[in-house]
Amino acid sequence: MNFSAKMLRDDALQGKVIVITGGGSGLGKAMTQYFMELGAHVAITSRDIEKLQKTANELEAKTAGKCLALACDVRHYDQVESMLKEVLKTYGKVDILLNNAAGNFISPTERLSANAFDTVIDIVLKGTKNCTLAFGKHWIESKQQSATILNIVTTYAFTGSAYVVPSATAKAGVLAMTRSLAVEWAKYGIRSNAIAPGPFPTKGAWDRLLPGDLAEKFDMAKKVPLGRVGDHQELANLAAYLVSDFSAYINGEVVVIDGGEWLKGAGQFNLLDQIPEEMWDMLEMMIKAKKNN
């Protein structure tokens, strides 16, 4: 099976203007490239303008599409407003906001400083709020007929997770915002959805979270029932569908794409998959013996 195959027809996003926060690398870059291949004009934002411009030049050469690189620290509302003005100045409109910018630490919570905790909250929750509020106000005031917000959350947004407490807290807030605004802003033609990805390793993020040989020791594929991690194109396919007009009746939904990972972790007896076949035979014999007594 070719997991990197592209899903939608070539003109699926023709004429759409999409803003992607954290779009310069990793999954953000993969989504940006696919959106451009489908005909969208894209603006990518982060704090590192040099990396953004390099990505924009690379993707324009690959796709013959248009990609605008804009420096923006989503933690600051005034910078978000300025970024939005630049997008409107260049493209004349904006149809889709994809909140992808994130930060994370893997650490016992008691080892984190208050500042470290705040950093993750500010990027993930406050940053998503800033972008959502600025873009939402623009769409409502301009009476734009339709618009879409897509937030990248995580499966532990609804379960919680030890050792990534700031991220879990922030992502849970983003998920609540997604569902709340799906109802409140639907009357303005604004849809709000989320994707909760499982393991989709990216060199930058995973090297920071699991430095040295930890990535090899902590093999995420072993936690996934399908026995593998995700391919970036699989996430890009899903994101493209959720921001396209094909998904016009999907609103307030969070779509999990993790190969069944979180369900495996949630089940009380799921660890029994480590029991070898011969032990199951023994257990079955013991159970039958008890029934016969």
pLDDT averaged over consecutive 10-residue blocks of the chain (293 residues)?
A: 73 96 92 96 95 96 94 97 98 98 87 93 98 98 96 93 91 98 98 94 60 60 88 95 96 96 74 68 70 61
Beta bridge partners of 256: 196
Which pLDDT value is given to residue 270? 56
Give catalytic status of residue 156 as yes or no: yes
CA–CA gap between residue 133 and residue 170 (Å, rounded): 16
248 CB neighbour count, 10 Å cutoff = 10
State how far the Cα of 256 lies from the Cα of 267, in Å rounded to an integer: 16
Alpha carbon distance 44, 65 (integer Å): 13
Q: Edge to edge, what strands does the sheet with 147-152 contain? A: 67-71, 41-46, 17-21, 96-99, 147-152, 190-197, 254-257
Q: What is the pLDDT of residue 163?
A: 86
| Beta-carbon contacts of residue 95 (< 8 Å; ≥ 6 apart) | 16, 17, 18, 146, 147, 148
Q: Give residue 108's pLDDT.
A: 86
pLDDT of residue 213: 55
Q: What pLDDT was estimated at residue 64?
A: 87
Burial class (CB in 10 A: 0-12, 13-18, 19+), 102: buried
CB burial readout 16-43, b (16+ within 10 A) else e: bbbbbbbbbbbbbbbbbbbbbbbbbbbb
Catalytic residue among 34, 77, 91, 156: 156
